[in-house]
Amino acid sequence: MIDHSISRFDDDARCRLIDGHMAELRQRYPYQFAQEMLDFMLDPEPGWLAIISTLCRDVDALIPVEVRPQFQWTQIMEKFGTLRASWSLGPQFFDSLSSGGVLSGGLPRERPAAYEPIWAAIDQRIAAATAESAKTCGECGALGILRDLHELRTLCDRHADLV
């Protein structure tokens, strides 16, 4: 968990923390990060870095070496207050805004059927990480809830006035 005495990261410290962490993951699982991503596509909340590390580790354990080249992250970012992690053969996410709020979904992509049980297990593991982010403060990693302030963010009580 991140030091609670820091009420909010300045932007530089925040970037250094996230970039350093992602660089470490990139080094540990190079095949997962083989695809070029724009900066904003690789921009998770600092409080979720532990969730993302565990996710990368578990994905690594799920994928046989021979199919590694088929897996690359295409997005690891915050979207509408929760983690959005998408990958090369995973669902293609879409969002639409309506009076009832945000409707999000995923369209399945064509993928080699022989490995479907593995792909499905990966999708399930990612969905679990997203669910975890919805109860984890994006600032510090403490228990949080999804809060609708000026924007949606998942935050603990201490950080609830940040937005």
Which residues contact Zn ion by CB under 5 A?
137, 139-140, 142, 156, 159
Q: Report the distance separating Cα 149 and Cα 140, nearest Å.
A: 18
Measured from the CB atom, the residue of 90 and 141 that comes closer to Zn ion is 141
Place of tokens 């997962």: 32
Task: Give the nearest distance from C-beta 153 to Zn ion in angstroms.
Answer: 10
Q: Report the distance separating Cα 84 and Cα 91, nearest Å.
A: 11
Measured from the CB atom, the residue of 59 and 83 that comes closer to Zn ion is 83
Q: Report the distance separating Cα 140 and Cα 160, nearest Å.
A: 11
Residue whose CB is nearest to Zn ion in the complex, by number: 137
Measured from the CB atom, the residue of 6 and 102 that comes closer to Zn ion is 6
Measured from the CB atom, the residue of 85 and 156 that comes closer to Zn ion is 156
Give me the amino acid identity at 142: A
Task: Give the nearest distance from C-beta 48 to Zn ion in angstroms.
Answer: 11
Task: Give the nearest distance from C-beta 158 to Zn ion in angstroms.
Answer: 5
Report whether 34 contacts 71 (CB < 8 A): no
DSSP state of 11: H
Which residues, 6+ apart, have CB-to-CB distance to 131 below 8 Å? Answer: none
- With vertex at residue 5, the alpha carbon angle to CA 25 and CA 143, rounded to the nearest 5 degrees, is 65
Task: Give the nearest distance from C-beta 49 to Zn ion in angstroms.
Answer: 13
Measured from the CB atom, the residue of 41 and 162 that comes closer to Zn ion is 162
Task: Give the nearest distance from C-beta 131 to Zn ion in angstroms.
Answer: 18
